[in-house]
Structure 1
Amino acid sequence: MTPSVGRRPLRSPLRRSLAAGASAAILAAGVGGVGVSAAHAAAPAAAGALAGALAAAPVPADTGARITAEQEVGTRAVDITINSPSLGRSVKTRILLPKNWKRGSQATWPVLYAFHGGQDDYTSWTRSTDIEAWAAKYNVIVVMPEGADGSYANWHNYGRGGTPKWETFHTAEVRQLMERNYGAGALRAAIGNSSGGAGAMSYAARHPGLFKYAASLSGVLSMRSIGMPALLMFTNAGNGQDPFAIWGIPWADDANWAAHDPHALAPRLRGTGLFFSAGTTGRPGPGDPNVAPWDIGLLSEIAVGANNKEFKKRLDELKIPYTAHIYGDGRHNWPAWIREAQFVWPALMKSIGAQKV
């Protein structure tokens, strides 16, 4: 068992052989963090932010995606259930609302999208961090959508397309539902850990202008670097998925891989604020437990760090501004991600004009 910042109990890490685990934890498409906190509900609701039940007729998204349920889970936190044609099923999204939010208001608020890592869910950020307290200090809406182990992509499915379309769900359906029913504005930023970090950066590149700022915490930002396709596919196979269904067969479907690779898409990130961070040494960092040198959370972060260095080099070649923290010691886990998220939080808020309250 691995403690998380000494605060919350954790689930057991992946039980794989050393060779398999070291590869699979690499990531992004499959491991959100080594040791994920046990389920933790948001604080009990006091005087709730939502005046009454779900709005009589929530406005649907262009695809027909619609909100079918709404539940207060905290003083200013609400979970909604979305029936999504892009996914072919219903999933949840957690929303943190600012103190001055009122249903039916004509006002709009800046929005931060927080994407979780693999083997986790939409409760990840509130369960593993103090994001509720961070958000409460600003007039910002925080949206934490379900991402499952979808790798933040519309799946290739051997060229047939079809469901699941996670990118469409996040960038169109969830966005439109937030804007049409909760007052989310056009000033947006994104942050994610592990595969969620790769997703934040990929979405920013694939949809220039969608986000003012994108932050990746230990995300794979160069998908096609040597050995990485095999490791990503191995990770997804370990999650019980067809590893070729997501982006296609490496090399044979290289164009589709490149179309989702932040490294290849780097020129499209010009004009977006960028932050990325990762460890490099394979040694425990501040807040990490004392674990064996072959711990998969340590070994995987070596590969992530090297990958982030490649992305950094590419941005340097293109003369695209960024802020990077390649910090050396640190495990692929929440102690480092919490620290990095707190560091970049002011920049995220500034980029979308979120004011302190």
Structure 2
Amino acid sequence: MPHHFTGASRRTVTKAAVAAGLTALFGARAVTARAATRLGPRTLDVSVSSAALGRSAPVRLILPSGFDARAGRTYPVLYLLHGAHDDYTSWTRETDIEAFTEGRDLIVAMPDAGSTGIPTAWRAGPDYETFQVEEVPALLARSYRASGVRAVAGVSTGGYGAMAHAARHPATFAAAASYSGILDTTAPGVPPILDAIVAREKLPPLSLWGNPVLNPLTWRDHNPRARAAGLRGTGLYVSSGSGVAGGSGDWLPETLESALWPSAHRFTDTLALLGIPVTTHYYAGGGHSWAYWKREFTASWPMLARALGVPE
């Protein structure tokens, strides 16, 4: 992918204050890094011991250039979320995010969301929302000098996560971007898609949020469209393709993209009714694949960069 995508006592007191603040904020949810594996000069995988998940889970980090040489500096964080049936390595595998962020003063964090890629508090299962929104940021603040400035972006179910995290935790993220995300989880045809994702990973039926008919409040509470008011003041970018209509004949990814098209429109229509600004890119054709998501990341980058306070 092209690159256009493309003193001492004072420091001690500050560190102590940060640690105390994290303990007060997260209490028993304070997490530790069990191990860190260097993959390159700036890239490493961290194994995080998570109370929310009841196990250790990986996070891939890309640190700023010159991170080790500037011990007193803090950095904003861009969280990149993966999609269904993928993992935390997808952004470095499918894009040139490492080269793209060279020379930009930010941390890129790519947390695990399990095999389904649905980063939520499961009704019968782990709490990936707490892991991503509370535990990982606490670890980054404590061990990697992350500041409180954050933006989040994701593909597919990760696009759901980006908007759900930002909506359910107002003012936590300065910006959120979704590329082919699931943005109205109760829109016609969407619950069966989520059921299929869960079933493909051989997880128990209804383990996500229960039955959408019998447990409507749970589904609503985790629906980005229903929680859209929480996005006021957040920089927003939403893109989605029409899929089969105008597509190239790649049936499966284009059909899935078509199925999510109305859901995305319902979400951004709700934002319009609420008077919440959002940049949208709805395009003819397209598929549910990285070929389109890389392009959309490029288009959304100026908005994300402004929110993070880094060069475009």
The 8 Å contact of residues 234 and 243 in structure 1, kept in 2 or not, is answered as no
- TM-score, structure 2 as length reference: 0.88
Which residue matches 1:155? 122
Which residue matches 1:170? 132
Which residue matches 1:248? 210
Do the aligned partners of residues 284 and 72 (structure 1) sit closer, same or farther apart at CA in structure 2, a change above 3 Å counting?
Answer: farther
In structure 1, what residue type is equivalent to 2:277? P
Q: Indicate yes or no: 2:283 matched with 1:327.
A: yes
Matches within 5 A, 1:80-95: 80-95=46-61
Shift of 1:235: 2.4
The percent of aligned pairs where both chains have the same amino acid is: 38
The 8 Å contact of residues 112 and 142 in structure 1, kept in 2 or not, is answered as yes
Matches within 5 A, 1:67-216: 67-102=33-68, 105-148=71-114, 149-157=116-124, 163-216=125-178
The 8 Å contact of residues 283 and 331 in structure 1, kept in 2 or not, is answered as no
SS in 2 for 1:196: helix
* Among candidates 238, 242, 246, match of residue 200 of structure 2: 238
In structure 2, what residue type is equivalent to 1:222? D
Which residue matches 2:12? none
SS in 1 for 2:306: helix
In structure 1, what residue type is equivalent to 2:201? N
The 8 Å contact of residues 243 and 287 in structure 2, kept in 1 or not, is answered as no
Shift of 1:127: 0.2
- TM-score, structure 1 as length reference: 0.77
SS in 1 for 2:187: coil
Shift of 1:215: 0.2
Shift of 1:353: 0.6
Structure with greater helix percent = 2
Which residue matches 1:309? 265
Do the aligned partners of residues 154 and 281 (structure 1) sit closer, same or farther apart at CA in structure 2, a change above 3 Å counting?
Answer: closer
Shift of 1:102: 2.1
SS in 1 for 2:101: helix
Shift of 1:239: 1.8
Which residue matches 1:354? 310
In structure 1, C-alpha distance between the alignment counterparts of 2:259 and 2:110, rounded to whole Å: 27
Which residue matches 2:240? 278
In structure 1, C-alpha distance between the alignment counterparts of 2:233 and 2:30, rounded to whole Å: 32
Instruction: Compute the RMSD of aligned alpha carbons.
Output: 2.1
Q: 1 or 2 for the larger relative contact order (CA 8 Å, sep ≥6)? A: 1
Runs of 4+ displaced beyond 4 Å: 58-61
Which residue matches 1:37? none
Which residue matches 1:45? none
* Among candidates 285, 298, 301, match of residue 342 of structure 1: 298
Unaligned 5+ residue runs, structure 2?
3-18
In structure 2, what residue type is equivalent to 1:151? I
Deviations 1:111-149 (A, max 9, x none): 100000011111100000011122114111000011122
In structure 2, C-alpha distance between the alignment counterparts of 1:284 and 1:227, rounded to whole Å: 21
Do the aligned partners of residues 181 and 155 (structure 1) sit closer, same or farther apart at CA in structure 2, a change above 3 Å counting?
Answer: same
* Among candidates 264, 267, 272, match of residue 229 of structure 2: 267
Deviations 1:257-315 (A, max 9, x none): 11110110111111101101010141576xxxx645xx210101001112111112111
Shift of 1:238: 1.9
